[in-house]
Structure 1
Amino acid sequence: MTASVFVVDDHPVVRDGVTLLLQSDPTLRIIGSAESGRAAIERITQLKPDLVLLDLRLPDMLAPEVIAELRKVHPPAKIVVFTAHADHHGITASLEAGANGALVKDVAGTDLMAALRQVLHGERIIDPRIAPHHAQRSEALARSGLTRREYEVLRFAAQGRTNPEIAESTGLTRNTVKTYLQSALHKLGARNRVEAIGKASEAGLL
């Protein structure tokens, strides 16, 4: 049985390379691609692919945001995050947002196809080069006492987003964003968001 795959990446070389590669596997079929998060959500809503191969860094959205949206518009999709950086902090956030796997972009072609098939069969696949970083960040998060929402709001703050921008990205009200941020500051023992971001970075959270 053939599984449909949708590729989301802002680099045409990656999109073309993956498309070419998957053409050699009769069990996987590319049904479309997008170069931004918004375009991906729109097209995936219509096409309803079995699997989405999602670049971690897109020009308009973060992968965890895209995943949260995809879980609303097409819950059955399997989502695999594709990244050039095994230690990028967004990987853990993506897995926590609901990704079914994470792979580094220089993975061998045969390994990529095997990993996608495993994910389609219900397994969770994390590239061995990512696993140690993911484990460290998960442990750091547990030690910090931050909830997933507090961590999410803090991550957006670390990217320089304002409270109204964070509210828009997360679907929370501005007051709720402020509450989560204050709670995160308190747990990290920080007086302001700059200090909180510094402490979170030192703790291996960002």
Structure 2
Amino acid sequence: MLDEGLILDLYGIGAIRFGRFRLTSGIESPFYIDLRLAITYPSVYKRMVKSMAEALSGLNTDIIAGIETASIPWASMIAYELNKGLVYVRKETKEHGTAKLVEGDLRQGMRVVVIDDVVTTGSSIIRAIKAIRGQGGDVIAAAVFIDREQGGLEAIRREGINVVSLARVTEVIDFLVNRGLISDDLRNSIIDYLVKMRGTTST
């Protein structure tokens, strides 16, 4: 779990916002989690990296994998913290050089943990898992900081992959309500949205 101080800091720097936002997936959302802001704040960045490294420390892994572009700074620092190698998965195969989709020295049978910052539908992580498997890697887990609770974890698990999540968005929202930072009405509207989205993704 992300500790309460980190949640407050993320809210304070605007990494957790409320309003109307269109996500990469095209879905409209009443909240937005932008953890790219956190890498600009060393204290927040370090503490989040340490939290994830501690959560992953018991896994027998060789390589940490990032996904172009948002998760690369997270994967890089988590790999450094765990003293593991790093690879990253491109959005598209590059048209020159070795034309690889996975950059770095990924070898047959290496045990890999895929890192992403936030999970919504799980499609980015699933794509990365398939790319790594396609180059001989053995993906043993995926890990995210915050689960938006819109079916992403379930989709990843259907690929046979365990997922580590440090926080669910409802936990974050409940904490912010309890601290008087957002209203009960806003919380309830977000819960209604999540229930509706879960119904949409399950059909």
- Tell me the TM-score normalised to structure 1 length: 0.38
TM-score norm. by structure 2 comes to 0.38
Structure with the bigger RCO (C-alpha within 8 Å, sep 6+) is: 2
